[in-house]
Amino acid sequence: MTEQYRILIVDNCPGQMKAWSQVLAHGGFDVVQAETGARALECAGSMALDCAVVNVSLADIDGAAFVEQLQNLAPGLPCILISSDITVQSALAMVGRRGVVAYEHKPVSPERIAALARDVCAHPGLADLDRANAALGKQILLRKRAEAAVRESHSNFRTLFNNVPVGLYRNTPGDKGEFIMANPAIVAMFGFDSEAEFLALNVSDIYVNPDERRLFSDKLSRTGHLAEEPLKFRKKNGEIFWGAVTANAVRDDSGGIRFFDGIVEDITERVQAEQALRRSEERLNSIINNAPSLIYLKDLDFRYILVNNLFRNYYEQVFANIAHPLDNDLFDDETAVRIRSNDTRVLELGRPLEFEDRIPMAGGVRTYYTVKFPLFDERGAPYALCGMSTDITDIKQTQEELERHKTHLEEIVLERTQEFMRANRELQTEIKERKRMERRLGELSERVISMQEQERARLSRELHDELGQQLTALRLEFDMMKKQVPETAAHGFADAISGMLEKITVELRRICKGLRPTVLDDLGLRSALTALIRDFENHSGLQFDVRMEHIPEHRVPSHVAIHVYRVLQESLNNVVKHARADRVAISLEQRADRLALTVSDNGCAMNDIQNHSSGFGIIGMARRAELCHGRVTIVANQPQGTRVTLDVPLAPYERNSHS
């Protein structure tokens, strides 16, 4: 190349632009790069250019408008257009514009770009023939598209059209409009059974509001393209749903609109979700703005970017003058530094922290309980700081007052505790003394009962040995005298005296048995109790129901046996004297390592017995039970009468005792 040409490359893909630039520079071109349309126009206005390679799919400007402005700045500048996402009609329209000499569809190799640029720059007059080249470009583009259409069979196109999951259609423009084509997805979307049934409709029939069809048609006719236009449609069954329509207005060679091609997506769920989100945001804003706490959001520069109404009302004048104030704009320096330090800690630690701040306010210093926490983006990086501060001044004052009362109460409690401790010590001393007295009383009671039993045994022996012998001798003498005296009236007298002596002897034996049952020593507890019951049965007229288990005598110590005997004796005496009963049930049984004696009668209630009894007998029974480490319970029997239960421990079982 004998002359160096300056070529402008405009593309928003840095990698593609770098590859083209390297090949062009290697071919001798002076390459100028621009990633945006604005930068390209700036270059075109400040330097002479021989050619421009332009990607018409720029982010900051429409491709057609960019080519028009480029030609205004550099009239006749040959432009090679490149794109991958415009329609055939749009490409043809672009090639027909002023200054456009060629069009290439991406992907295109750097060598192809270099060859086109070399041909354009080598023929300076080519710019004057741009219209002819445009026509040639149209023919080339049409030929390529035709070749592609040949390669793509009609059946494949129809398969794609029929199986795409979104609704596709083609209809005529106008207020009503008629459908020309419709794929199965859109037919099913509107609830029709066949394509023919759907195509028989006017387009306005599927709109909830037919006026929206007119507005949509007018807007698409003006702009040529609409993307995701939200519209309300009605299905065949009357159900209403939201659809997002993306459509192009397809024009003929004269610029008139032939038809609308479009895509319809059912966005009902998305719209409902957006509506729910809006309602949620409204509720959230209502909560935030009606909350009794100060709620605020700061950016990473610690500027207040969002505050609730309560916060704004406190500092209304500051927010009226500064949109996003700092803490220094709201508080004194000391408070601002302290708040900034807390905010920094929260961001550094990356977790919520709690603080208690004293903030100077218009009405005086207030105490706030504050919770601050960072907000993170999807990468996990903090992008803001949120805080909630609740005024706890009144609570703190109440707590301080409670603390004073608590201290006062603690002093009173301490004083009362000391008094209670003194009283407790005195009470413990009294309890110890009372226990000592009770032990002493128990010892005395045990001695008294022991002496009682000893005295009874002595009296029983004396009565039996002395008085009994004397009565027996006296009865024998009367018998001898009766034999010696002739049968006279004295015989009757002697018989009477002898009978009385016999009765006295029997009563004496009964009294001796009551004083000390010798059968208890001779035959054991079970036999002694049986004899006692038989004696009461003979003299009282009571009917007895007796159930006694066999209990090894070695399991019942002698001192326990006499107490069990006396408790039964006292219980039966009470029944005879006070209960007015005619039946008595007595049981003696072993319960594990304990002996249980139960006496039940069908007489009067327990209260009546206590009213007629002196109470010494009951006290004696209780004391005898204590001496055996047992207990006596006296309860009312159901439906009438009284039940006395004695429960005492047995001696430990020894296997050798049976050997």
pLDDT tens for each residue of 506-554: 666 666 655 667 667 777 888 888 988 988 888 888 999 999 988 887 7
Instruction: Kindly state the percentage of the chain with pLDDT values over 90.
Output: 40
Tokens read off for 448: 């008294």
pLDDT at 460: 59
pLDDT at 1: 45
pLDDT at 536: 87
Range with the lowest mean pLDDT among 88-97, 345-354, 475-484, 514-523? 88-97
Tokens read off for 61: 């400007």
Distance CA 526, CA 588 (A): 9
Distance CA 449, CA 623 (A): 9
pLDDT at 492: 66
Q: Is 69 a member of any domain?
A: yes
pLDDT at 219: 94
CATH number of 10's domain: 3.40.50.2300
The answer, yes or no, to whether residue 659 has pLDDT greater than 50, is: no
Q: Average pLDDT of 283-308?
A: 92
pLDDT at 653: 46
Tell whether 187 and 302 lie within a shared domain: no
Tell whether 542 and 495 lie within a shared domain: no
Domain end: 361, 391, 421, which one? 391
Q: Is 207 a member of any domain?
A: yes
Cβ proximity of 231 and 216 under 8 Å: yes
Q: Average pLDDT of 621-647?
A: 88
The answer, yes or no, to whether residue 199 has pLDDT greater than 90, is: yes
Tell whether 121 and 48 lie within a shared domain: yes
| Residue 604, CA distances (Å) to 91, 539, 617 in order | 123, 21, 18
Alpha helices, H only, 516-589? 518-523, 525-540, 558-574
Tell whether 398 and 503 lie within a shared domain: yes
Tell whether 247 and 332 lie within a shared domain: no
Tell whether 170 and 121 lie within a shared domain: no
Q: Is 292 a member of any domain?
A: no
How sure is the predictor about 592, in pLDDT bands with cuts at 50, 70 and 90? confident
Q: Is 293 a member of any domain?
A: no
The answer, yes or no, to whether residue 151 has pLDDT greater than 80, is: no
Q: Is 290 a member of any domain?
A: no
CATH number of 341's domain: 3.30.450.20
Q: Average pLDDT of 464-490?
A: 65
Omega before 652 within 30 of 0, i.e. cis: no
Tell whether 42 and 73 lie within a shared domain: yes
- Residue 476 domain boundaries: 394-516
Mean pLDDT of the chain: 83
pLDDT at 2: 55
What total number of domains does the chain contain? 5
How sure is the predictor about 462, in pLDDT bands with cuts at 50, 70 and 90? low
Tell whether 306 and 360 lie within a shared domain: yes
Q: Is 581 a member of any domain?
A: yes
Cβ proximity of 126 and 78 under 8 Å: yes
The answer, yes or no, to whether residue 145 has pLDDT greater than 80, is: no
240-266, pLDDT tens digit by residue?
999 999 999 999 888 899 999 999 999
pLDDT at 654: 44
Which residues have C-beta within 8 Å of that of residue 259, sequence separation ≥ 6? 170, 171, 172, 173, 180, 250
pLDDT at 147: 59
Tell whether 422 and 471 lie within a shared domain: yes
